[in-house]
Structure 1
Amino acid sequence: MYQDVFGQDTTINSRDALGAWNNTLMAFMSHGASTPTHLGETLTLDPNFALGHAVKGMFYLLLGRRELTDTAREALGLAEAAALSNAVTAREQSFINALKAFYEGTLTQAIRHLEDILAVHPADTLAMKLSHAIRFVLGDGEGMRASVEAVMGAYGPDHPGRGYLMGCHAFSLEETGEYARAETVGRMGLVVSPDDAWGLHAVAHVYDMTCDAEGGLKWLEGRDAAWAHCNNFRYHVWWHKALMHLDMGQNKEVLALYDTEIRADKTDDYRDISNATSLLSRLELNGVNVGDRWEELADISTNRTEDGCLIFADLHYLLALIGGSRKQAITTLMGRMHRDAKSCRSQMDRIMASPGLNAAAGLEAFGEADFKSAFVNLARARNSMQSAGGSHAQRDVFERLTIDAGIRAGFLDEAETILKDRMGKRAGREDSYAAARFSLISQGRDASSCVTSVPAE
């Protein structure tokens, strides 16, 4: 029995294996690209390390890819076998239980097992970060915040996970609308842990939600080192920078970042696809010609139509298929979504049913220029879209599509109501998107007034 870098008793066979495990933990906290390498080394040094197998399984499930569920199931089997052959702590068993629940599709139950750990071991940064990650998949900002704030007292100035805890706290504060505190906590966390890309990006979210693109660009300026070491999360930070340029009307800079950073590597990770599709959608809504950039995204998404792991992923695959005019693939994806929603086998299937089906129908209708149907369906999905997962900034593409559909369909009052609600959530401020849409609504009303006031001949 050894103690890990966060002071938690760990059933592992040697100090060498423990060193590799500690490297895994610290890399995971910073979203480091080296995380799987360190975990692989750990399991090579101790093939019977139950906790390592359990965490590996959760890592794979968080990737949201149907073909990786077999790998997660294998990891669960190895973890359970290891726990039978070599007694593990109650804490480690709870990680195994969390993986089992996650694999079975009951994400809230997986979170409960992780929260059981934190109730007894509040200084366990691994359990904190995994609970945070799964709650993020569910769009549970309030839960993220409550989880982090419940354990803050266990993190003294010398706790190795303190900076990463602050990064998670900053993000949860931002997602629950406390922007000033979020920025302060995020900045302080980066002083403690300069490689915490999650905390850095939490502050970027604050600038997005307070409509301060210029301030956001200044914040990211010169801080590339905070995300250069990352896995594909680095593409997401570049995406945030592109959003800031977009808000400032700097479309050439947006497209340059898209080509040189965001899609420099043609990956098929759903998070990378969501970055790309949502950015291209925003550009097109602003009247920007994005050329043939939809094509490679549509090619990848055609191969993901049967995935069904996350509604957040499916909706972005659908955006790619619509952008690339892949009608057969759209039909296949929509059919599979309807089957999953009807089965209700898992928590994700229930989210697929609502808000998933309405959102998907709205996106499909928007792609067909049926803006009335697009608005009706997207508006119907809107109040529960948070459960689809992701952040406010990520889901804003669906908000924009809803508003634009309403304007194009002539539902000016309804679009204005949503636009004002969107502005209210952004510290009551108006970004360039909102300003342009308020202007379009005003023009639409003026045109309508002119038509109705023309005397009959």
Structure 2
Amino acid sequence: MSTDQHGLAMTGASAAATRHYDRAIDELLHFRSEVDAETDAALADSPGFPMANVLAAYLGLLTTEAAEARTARDRFDAFRRQADESSLLPRERAHVAAVRTLLAGDLPACGALLAEITTAHPRDALALAAGHQLDFFTGDARALRDRVGGALTAWHEDDPHFGHLLGMYAFGLEEAGHYDRSEEVGLRAVELNRRDVWGIHAVVHTYEMQGRFGEGVRYLDARLDDWSTGTFFNVHTWWHYALYALEAGDVERALAVHDAVLAGGRTSMELLDAAALLWRLLLEGSDQHERWQALADAWPPLVAEPFYAFNDMHAVMSYVGAGRIGEAEKLIASREAYTLESRPGVANVAMTLRVGLPVCRALVAYGRGDFGTAVDLLYPIRHRVNEFGGSHAQRDAVQKTLLEAALRGGRHEVARVLVSERVSVRPCSPFNWLKHAALADRLGDHATAATARQKATTLITTA
């Protein structure tokens, strides 16, 4: 029996496999691609090593890509056929049960099983990291905050991964709306480990939600070497950088980021970031036809079968942006058929029914210029869009689509509510004041429109 770097007992691992496993956990927490190689090395040395097999399964299943999930299923099934599960330690058996639940598509149940592991073993970094990602995929802000928060007192500042826990906790605090505390914890995480990209990401989200785009750019610029290299998470952080540029009205800079970093992506995570950026430009009337075409070409193999509704939305964005409405409708039809099949316990079915399909239909309606239908589809679900995952910042693309559809479709009462909500929550956002101005112009209140535009200009010039 061996012990991992956090003091937890493990079976079936040689000394070398244990070292590879510990390094794999470190790479995982740093969002570095070397996590796969270290996991494979642990399994090559000790094929029956339960925790390495569990880690490999989580890595495949949490990519949100069907092909990776199939590979993970095959590998894990092979492990289980050879394993004597009765001989495993209770924590190992609990992880095996969690993986089996995740393989069945029940994300909330898997998250609950991982929470039980964390309750009994609060220093289980893998249970915390996997659970944190599941909370993100299901849009559960409370769990994003409390899963890690409930384990923190079992850790100490001299633990090498204590800072990474703070980074995760900071993100949970931000998604739960505790912005002051999120900034404090996130900055401390990065102070403990300057290359904690998830901690940097939490701070960036906090500035985004507070409309502090100038500070966000300066923060990222000052730490460019820490987050832009040596991690597969750099693309997403560049996306945040581009969002700051858009808030400042610098479309040229946002497109430069797209062309240098976001274009040419091949994974779902990369493609959805590109789509989310280009869609925001589309809402403002910016035609990026060639960029949309390349993006639309990349999506078909990744959405050939249903797996994660949040990805489907971004594929539909890409098809609509490229003017390929027929492909968007074909994807929607396939998801409609998918929801009619009996799939007990598969979380993505409910995600697709309750949020994914209404959003995708609304995007198509918007692309056709049917703004009234887009409003009718999005307004009733606007407070539960979190159910298909993502962050507040990512889901804001849906809220901005609703607002723009209301403005363009003459639904002025709805637009007034939406603008008032946005300005009241984030008065530091130039975008919000510009939409306030656009609504005022449509209502013939040009004095209010001029004042709102001046407010937006002042915010940009003083950021």
TM-score by length of structure 1 reads 0.93
Shift of 1:378: 1.5
Summarize deviations over 1:273-328 as a string: whole Å, max 9, x none.
Answer: 11101101112222334241001111112333433111100000000011112233
In the alignment, is the contact (CA less than 8 A) between 1:182 and 1:206 conserved in 2?
A: yes
Aligned to 1:297, the other structure's residue is in SS state helix
The corresponding residue for 1:233 is 233
Q: Which amino acid aligns with 1:143?
A: A
Q: Which residue of 2 aligns with 1:44?
A: 44
Task: Report the CA distance between 1:344 and its aligned residue.
Answer: 5.5
The offset of 1:99, in angstroms, is: 0.9
Cα deviation, residue 230, structure 1: 4.6
How far residue 247 of structure 1 moved from its aligned partner, in angstroms, is 0.6
The residue that corresponds to 1:438 in the other structure is 436
Output one character per residue of 1:153-184: Cα deviation in whole Å (capped at 9) or x when no partner.
Answer: 10112222210110011001111111111011
Distance 1:58 1:208, change over 3 A: same
Contact preservation (8 Å) 1:3, 1:10: yes
What residue number does 1:167 align with?
A: 167
Q: Does 1:307 align with 2:289?
A: no
2:285 alignment partner, SS class:
coil
The counterpart of 1:333, out of the listed 331, 334, 337, is 331
C-alpha spacing 1:344/1:440, structure 2 compared with 1 (3 Å): farther
Partner SS for 1:293: helix
- Bigger shift: residues 167-176 or 74-83: 74-83
Structure 1 window deviating more from structure 2 (113-122 vs 385-394): it is 113-122
**Shift in CA distance, 309/423, structure 1 to aligned 2, threshold 3 Å:** farther
Partners of 2:192 and 2:63 in 1: CA distance: 28
- Distance across 2 between alignment mates of 1:297 and 1:352: 22
Moved more, 289-298 or 214-223: 289-298
The Cα RMSD (Å) is 1.7
Name the residue aligned to 2:316: 318
Amino acid at match of 1:404: E
C-alpha separation in 2, matches of 1:194 and 1:5: 21
Tell me if the contact between 1:53 and 1:79 (Cα under 8 Å) persists in the aligned partners: yes
Q: Which runs of 5+ in 1 are unaligned?
A: 449-457
Structure 1 stretch 319-328 or stretch 76-85: which is displaced more?
Answer: 76-85
Corresponding position of 1:61: 61
* 343-352 or 97-106, larger mean C-alpha shift: 343-352
Does the CA-based 8 Å contact 2:423-2:433 persist in structure 1? no
Aligned to 2:457: none
**Equivalent of 2:280 in 275, 279, 282:** 282
Cα distance, 1:255 vs structure 2: 0.8
CA distance in 2, matches of 1:371, 1:232: 37
Matched residue of 1:249: which SS? coil
Q: Deviations over 1:353-379 (max 9, x none)?
A: 001221111111001110010111111
Correspondence for 1:382 = 382
Cα distance change, pair 35–178 in 1 and its aligned pair in 2 (3 A): same
1:326 partner letter: R
Equivalent AA in structure 1 for residue 187 of structure 2: R
Deviates more, 1:430-439 or 1:272-281: 430-439
Tell me how many residue pairs correspond in the alignment: 444
- 5 Å-filtered alignment, 1:124-203, equals 124-203=124-203
**In 2: Cα distance, 1:361 partner to 1:381 partner:** 13
Unaligned runs of 5+ in 2: 447-463
Whole-Å separation in 2 of the counterparts to 1:281 and 1:117? 40
Aligned to 1:453: none
1:12 aligns with 2:17: no
**1:254-287 superposed Cα distances (whole Å, 9 cap, x missing partner):** 1111111222xx2221111111011011122223
Instruction: Answer yes or no: is the 8 Å Cα contact 2:262–2:274 preserved in 1.
Output: yes
Distance 1:36 1:390 in 2: 24
Matched-pair contact (CA < 8 Å) for 2:238–2:261: yes
